[in-house]
């Protein structure tokens, strides 16, 4: 069952969302060659707690940290640790914050120092895929229109959409119905309606879309070792169109879709 949120609840969710985007912006400012992913996690947790939030990931099914930090070919769920970033790396950082009883979930893949044109293109395409998916988050569209948008943008660029990891509904729990695949035929599934709130999260690779789970039972990497990217926003479906909740004016990585043009036709 998809739990729809009232206008008041969406306002509350926007506060959790703003905090998590503020945390990701801070992590982005802190990224430099030499810093470890454990240090980035400590920076994130300190900011979350100092603003009255709770790191939603910490303790979730036993997950030990406040962020996921997944370098290079790692797609998601990298556990922060002694890995020190090097110039040329990309680092996917995912963070969830609970504030006022609601969860915000957001991810961004950061370049570290100078990265290759190929890596930059992967990041650009993943962001474009997310933007296209968010654009579909309007009353009257169907759930599968979201994944179809991700797949279309990603495959047009020659990249692969991971099949076994999905976006999700979000609210008082981090994971609510529905699951939101990043691929599929358009026009299928539930009709999108005002008050639905989704975490949309394309996860793509520069090579094949098969992934492997590491021995820590969390980290997931591309099977062929190709670079991976992950961008995520929490978005509310409103009568005025998609409202991104994990974006705020000072956020350095806000996507240019805050006030999207209405779809023609």
- Residue whose tokens read 């406040």: 66
Q: What six digits make up the tokens of 215?
A: 């021995």
The one of ligand MF3, Co ion, none whose footprint includes residue 89, by CB under 5 to 8 A per kind, is none
What string marks each residue from 43 to 82 as x (binds ligand MF3 by CB under 6 A) or -? --------------x--xx-x----x--------x-----
253: contact with ligand MF3 by CB under 6 A: no
Nearer to Co ion, 115 or 165 (CB): 165
Q: Is 176 helix (H, G, I), strand (E, B) or coil?
A: strand
Chain-centroid distance of CA 74 in Å reads 14
41: contact with ligand MF3 by CB under 6 A: no
Sign of CA dihedral 207, 202, 54, 170: negative
Nearer to Co ion, 122 or 235 (CB): 235
CB 5 within 8 A of CB 54: no
199: contact with Co ion by CB under 5 A: yes
Return the closest-CA partner of residue 95 out of 58, 60, 66, 53. Answer: 66
Concatenating the DSSP letter of every residue in 227-258 gives: -EEE-BEEEEEETTEEEESS--TT-TT--TTS
- Alpha-helical (H) ranges within 31-175 are 37-50, 117-135, 143-156
Applying CB under 5 A, the site for Co ion has a residue count of 2
Nearer to ligand MF3, 57 or 231 (CB): 57
Separation of alpha carbons 41 and 231, rounded Å = 18
96: contact with ligand MF3 by CB under 6 A: yes
Separation of alpha carbons 138 and 265, rounded Å = 13
The only residue of 22, 45, 89, 105 in contact with ligand MF3, by rule CB under 6 A: 105
Nearer to ligand MF3, 25 or 97 (CB): 97
Cβ-proximal residues to 47 (8 Å cutoff; 6+ apart), any chain: 22, 23, 26
220: contact with ligand MF3 by CB under 6 A: no
Nearer to ligand MF3, 93 or 192 (CB): 93
The one of Co ion, ligand MF3, none whose footprint includes residue 22, by CB under 5 to 8 A per kind, is none
The only residue of 119, 132, 199, 203 in contact with ligand MF3, by rule CB under 6 A: 199
Bridge partners (DSSP) listed for residue 236: 197, 243
212: contact with ligand MF3 by CB under 6 A: no
105: contact with Co ion by CB under 5 A: yes
Could you list the residues that contact ligand MF3 (CB under 6 A)? 57, 60-61, 63, 68, 77, 94, 96, 105, 199, 201
């Amino acid at each position: 069952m998809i739990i729809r949120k009232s206008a008041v609840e969406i306002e509350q969710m926007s506060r959790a969302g703003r905090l998590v985007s503020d945390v990701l912006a801070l992590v982005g400012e802190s990224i430099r060659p030499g810093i470890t992913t454990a240090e980035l996690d400590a920076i994130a947790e300190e900011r979350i707690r100092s603003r009255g939030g709770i790191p939603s990931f910490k303790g979730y099914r036993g997950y030990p940290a406040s962020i996921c930090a997944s370098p290079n070919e790692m797609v998601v769920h990298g556990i922060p640790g002694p890995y020190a970033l090097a110039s040329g790396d990309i680092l996917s950082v995912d963070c969830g914050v609970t504030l006022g009883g609601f969860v915000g979930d957001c991810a961004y893949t950061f370049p570290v120092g100078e990265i290759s044109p190929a890596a930059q293109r992967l990041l650009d395409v993943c962001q474009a895929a997310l933007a296209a998916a968010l654009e579909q988050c309007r009353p009257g569209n169907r759930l599968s229109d979201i994944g179809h948008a991700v797949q279309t943008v990603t495959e047009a660029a020659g990249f692969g959409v991971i099949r076994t990891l999905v976006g999700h509904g979000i609210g008082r729990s981090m994971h609510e119905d529905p699951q939101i695949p990043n691929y599929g035929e358009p026009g299928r599934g539930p009709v999108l309606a005002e008050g639905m709130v989704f975490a949309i999260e394309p996860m793509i690779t520069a090579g094949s879309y098969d992934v492997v789970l590491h021995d820590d039972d969390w980290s997931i990497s591309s099977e062929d070792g190709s670079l991976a990217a992950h961008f995520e926003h929490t978005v509310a479906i409103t009568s005025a169109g998609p409202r991104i909740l994990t974006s705020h004016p000072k956020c350095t990585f806000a996507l240019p879709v805050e006030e999207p043009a209405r779809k023609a036709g």
